[in-house]
Structure 1
């Protein structure tokens, strides 16, 4: 495993971050989840990403239990706040009340005294940015949070936050953005990436495998394989359904020989591709089995030359989505390459 600075901060994170979005508390049982975390640690992964809303807190609880006994200073634990965690009017958003209460709840579930990285899970247009950023700054001053980040914010939203931070003279800075980013979904490239590069904000790219589609395990015209997210319960089939379609699945199959030429699996090629992109500090990848964790981690340190990048673009062609207007709309907007025919 290799390590990189998170943006222009001094915080070193593993090139592959272990994420537990649709796995812990939903897709796998406790024993399997702990085995995946242990496999990540064995592979040199130091960075773990979660959120208060994942499985309504169960994901944080499971991650906290799985990491118990590991030297805390050797870990980088990241969580998020904003999305609904209850039915009350203050159980969502980026108000001071919700941020403070959610942070305390996350610390309790994760069994830790502080979060290395606390991220605004989405932008909250109903709360003044000043209120949000002062609350985050106070958490840093209290020692409960070390670094601040955002997730799926547009370039104008990030720019506005940076302006407020400077105008208020806050000491805490935004060091990371966590967007969906992979070979197919490149909507952050036109606006978000250039801004973040100028401002020293690193990308923590999630869904580098496009919900597993870029592994090549979903075959055109066939049912999703047993044990995959496409066959799982809970919310997983809803999300994976957004990225399935015969034209896409056929193109992905054409990437497998290219991965073989590079001495990699298709999954490793997809992760290495993201790590090759400007401004990326780490990829956030989940897993349902320990062997997947090991395979993903092995993509760290792999290099891709320009000829390989060009061939990826040639294979995927017009299926690549670069529409910057879809930033932060991942939950609501289907990619342009989605079809209704599996």
Structure 2
């Protein structure tokens, strides 16, 4: 069976709590040398994970749409479970086992991915396609939880920083099967390990993230780092997207919908311009959800399908980069339609 016989047949998502407006962060804003940087222009709204809401809780809620449309037995019968949690609930332990239990699954393979970051859904698609093609089973579930906004960026000592008003929380799942229903046409994954050290976690006064002490942790951004990340993201996402298009012989006119991660408005604009696509063909929920990190692609795809922005037979192109540019991925599917 060829790789084209593996399909992403549906996605379902979940946004926690009520929308939190930009005014919430404005009241805490401190003097910050990065305050006016384009990287940190706040969205109008975002959502925050609940105080006692776990990654497994979020995924269980996100999966309800799949259960309603495909039946609980389909989810319970999944052979391969692939997960990514932005902020693991417990050190050392991935969320895969807990998610499998919550959904009544007994998968033969459970993988907790971490290096995929904002492109984790694409890494999950590639991994699921390879495993199912190799005979690991007939069905895979990709589960992504972004839960850092309400837990890291809303800490009292952090939420006054410019970086804190951009992230939002959410979760999504994708159902992948061996079928021709909604075929994965191609996937491109690239690792840029030389940039891995540029993503840092800072605490003032300095200490290792796991050591007890005063001060709250946050992402260690500087003007120089931001300049490098902007340059890498602007380059990498079009590169991997165009690599997929070139192999498939696709032009801009053939792409019905572009779905990307959404760090900020600048990246969103630059990516669609680089791919010569109008805004109407690029899913953008930034002002409703903020930066959803790894959950952005499946959440946005779910919203686009629900809004009937994609129809059966359309080619959907997905692309993203992760962290400070150490990973990027792209994938194309021919959408087969959602069960009513």
TM-score scaled by structure 2? Answer: 0.30
Question: Which is strand-richer, 1 or 2?
Answer: 2
